[in-house]
Amino acid sequence: MSVLVYVENADGKFKKSTFEVVSYAKEIANQLGTSLTALSIGNVADGALAELGKYGAQKVLTVNNDKLKSFVNQAYASIISSAAKAEGSKVVVLAASFSGKGLAPRVAVKLEAGLVDGAVELPDLKDGKFTVKKTAFSGKAFAHVELTSAVKIVSLVPNSFKVVERPEAANVTAFESTAAESDFGVMIKDIVRASDKISLPDAELVVSAGRGMKGPENWGMVEELANLLGAATACSKPVSDAGWRPHSEHVGQTGIAISPNLYIAIGISGAIQHLAGVSSSKVIVVINKDPEAPFFKVADYGIVGDAFEVLPKLIDAIKKFKE
Ligand code: FAD
């Protein structure tokens, strides 16, 4: 009986969220006194697969054929569930990423397992129970969910668990695809990247701006600050609704939910629907000219001031610091 962790890749490379999820699954395996098996689907080099040992995977199963190069929800779910059965895994861990959110419930159905999606902490195993803290109501609350099923699935929110190195000698083994022809009903034909920018859901630093920026012509400052920090850019809903920024940048209840290490909110009021998607950020910095703006209540650091004065000074200061 091992813990199984599904390791997601992007263009054959593992993301930081993958190492987080392996570190998290390793800790669960240690608590349960068992080993950790990682499962990779798609074209990842052997060296990268073996590197998963650095984060605690003792065994790495790899499935690779042309049809599985791109993400296919049903097929991937079939393979993950058959790998869990083959390994006798009672716990399966995935990232609560775009694809993880689609996979976790499908795998849960196939394994007749209980699922906690959006875990933010390690499970509490006191008294033989398996209770997981997860976000609820779009991040406005936390729920502690006890899983009582024989097989348990947990998906972990990116940026909620630190990468921990616990070196193991990882043994990389090929695993036969168990996906049926019917699993390939919907397939990705082509991926067109909207831009080369840092992907918002995975970003550790995010610079976000709202209606206080007055118009799209003023986003140069926001982008300059983001570039200097190596951050992704985001925005409030009205900004994307007005077409000032693309919808892919809209964060909040009806947009993307993120939990970066640093979230800088510029000219955003902090409406509850916006906070729903960003309040689990580790450090929140708010720049707003209205000292009564609700965002200040959840901010770790606040600057009361006009963004058009504060941003150029901040950009200058960071440039000087970097010199
Ligand atoms: P505003 O509310 O107009 O706030 C602008 C802020 O900028 C103000 O606080 C102002 O003091 C400040 N400001 C103005 N000028 C300056 C300046 N020169 N310098 C510094 N600060 C300045 N919103 C989201 O963001 N995400 C969601 O997912 C979302 N989902 C929603 C779902 C529903 C069902 C509903 C009803 C609403 C949703 N909203 C969402 C909208 C939300 O309620 C707010 O209307 C929205 O977040 C406000 O955006 P804003 O803060 O950019 O604009």
Q: 26, 56 in Cβ contact below 8 A?
A: yes
- pTM exceeds 0.80, yes or no: no
96 or 140, higher pLDDT: 96
Please identify, by atom number, the ligand 1 atom nearest to the C-alpha of residue 307: 19
pLDDT attached to residue 240 = 96
| Residue percentage of the chain with pLDDT more than 90 | 79
pLDDT attached to residue 139 = 67
pLDDT bucket at 1, cuts 50 / 70 / 90: confident
Closest of 147, 109, 134, 136 to residue 32, by C-alpha: 147
pLDDT attached to residue 317 = 97
> Which of 114-123, 136-145, 234-243 is predicted least confidently?
136-145
Q: Is the pLDDT of residue 194 over 70?
A: no
State the angle between helix axes of 98-111 and 73-87 in degrees (0 to 180), rounded to the nearest 10. Answer: 50
> Which of 192-206, 225-239, 259-273 is predicted least confidently?
192-206
151 or 192, higher pLDDT: 151
Which residue type occupies 142? Answer: F
Question: Within 10 Å of residue 33's Cβ, how many Cβ atoms?
Answer: 7
Q: Is the pLDDT of residue 131 over 70?
A: yes
- Per-residue pLDDT, averaged over 93-99, amounts to 92
| Residue percentage of the chain with pLDDT more than 70 | 98
Residue 176 in tokens = 């036969």
pLDDT bucket at 192, cuts 50 / 70 / 90: confident
Q: 208, 233 in Cβ contact below 8 A?
A: yes
- Per-residue pLDDT, averaged over 52-78, amounts to 94
Q: Is 308 in the pocket of ligand 1 (CB under 6 A)?
A: yes
Q: List, as residue ranges, the binding site for FAD.
A: 211, 267-274, 288
Q: Is 139 in the pocket of ligand 1 (CB under 6 A)?
A: no
Residue 182 in tokens = 């019917």
Q: 169, 57 in Cβ contact below 8 A?
A: no
Give the CA count within 13 Å in the CB-facing half-sphere of 52.
Answer: 38
Task: Please tell me the distance from the alpha carbon of residue 159 to that of residue 205, in angstroms, as a whole number.
Answer: 11
pLDDT attached to residue 124 = 97
Please identify, by atom number, the ligand 1 atom nearest to the C-alpha of residue 290: 11
Q: Is 245 in the pocket of ligand 1 (CB under 6 A)?
A: no
Q: Is 210 in the pocket of ligand 1 (CB under 6 A)?
A: yes
